[in-house]
């Protein structure tokens, strides 16, 4: 190792492929001592930087909530697009567009947007209204004529 050899900070920058490491890359190609030091740094950092297993979006969100880095979903007002609401409700975006007159929404610069909290409240209230209706009310029967409901 000579005075031109890379220090530990430079080797770490090289490991993480930072922009300032271009000169370090040139030096390490020619210096066997730095190549050996870089290999050692790489093995140490690889042990530290073990990949976290993918537990899915829900698992990550729950973990972040537990450690307090994320607000609970109930405390935030999230603005959603038509496509996001369709995915969330698991319906097609065309079907959702046909239901707009029944859902709370607003338009910004010609784009349809939904407030998630307001939409959740609206859907919950509609469900509770349906549950409160008398169960003995007869359902409307459709008369089938020629394979079509009349």
Residue 136 lies in a domain: no
**Closest alpha carbon to 58 in 78, 73, 68, 74:** 73
* Residues spanned by the domain of 82: 76-130
pLDDT of residue 113: 92
Q: How many domains would you assign to the chain?
A: 2
Residue 148 lies in a domain: no
Q: Is pLDDT larger for residue 47 or for residue 88?
A: 88
CB atoms within 10 A of CB 28: 20
Lowest mean pLDDT among 22-26, 28-32, 50-54, 105-109: 50-54
Q: Measure the CA–CA gap between 41 and 50, rounded to whole angstroms.
A: 14
Write down the mean pLDDT value for the chain.
Answer: 75
Q: Measure the CA–CA gap between 117 and 121, rounded to whole angstroms.
A: 6
84 and 126 assigned to the same domain:
yes
Residue 20 lies in a domain: yes
Tokens in use for 90?
A: 């698991």
**Closest alpha carbon to 32 in 5, 9, 3, 8:** 5
Is a pLDDT exceeding 60 seen at residue 75? Answer: no
Per-residue pLDDT tens over the stretch 105-133? 998 888 999 998 888 888 888 776 666 66
Q: Whole-model pTM? A: 0.38
Count CA atoms closer than 13 A to 40's CA, side-chain side.
8
H or E stretch covering 145: strand 144-145
Q: Measure the CA–CA gap between 113 and 81, rounded to whole angstroms.
A: 5
Residue 104 lies in a domain: yes
CATH number for the domain spanning 82: value is 1.10.10
Quick check: 4 and 27 in contact, CB under 8 A? yes
Residue 55 lies in a domain: no
Per-residue pLDDT tens over the stretch 4-23? 788 888 887 777 776 666 77
């Amino acid at each position: 190792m000579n005075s031109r050899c890379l220090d530990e900070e430079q080797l770490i920058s090289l490991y993480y492929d930072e922009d300032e490491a271009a000169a370090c890359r040139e030096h390490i190609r020619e210096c066997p001592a730095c190549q050996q030091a870089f290999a050692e740094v790489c093995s140490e950092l690889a042990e530290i930087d073990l990949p976290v297993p993918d537990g899915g979006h829900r698992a990550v969100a729950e973990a972040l909530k537990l450690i307090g880095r994320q607000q609970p979903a109930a405390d935030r007002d999230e603005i959603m697009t038509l496509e996001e609401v369709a995915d969330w409700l698991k319906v097609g975006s065309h079907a959702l567009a046909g239901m707009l007159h029944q859902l709370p929404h607003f338009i910004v610069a010609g784009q349809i947007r939904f407030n998630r909290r307001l939409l959740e409240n609206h859907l919950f209230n509609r469900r509770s209204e349906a549950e409160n209706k008398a169960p003995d009310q007869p359902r409307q029967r459709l008369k089938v004529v020629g394979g079509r409901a009349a």
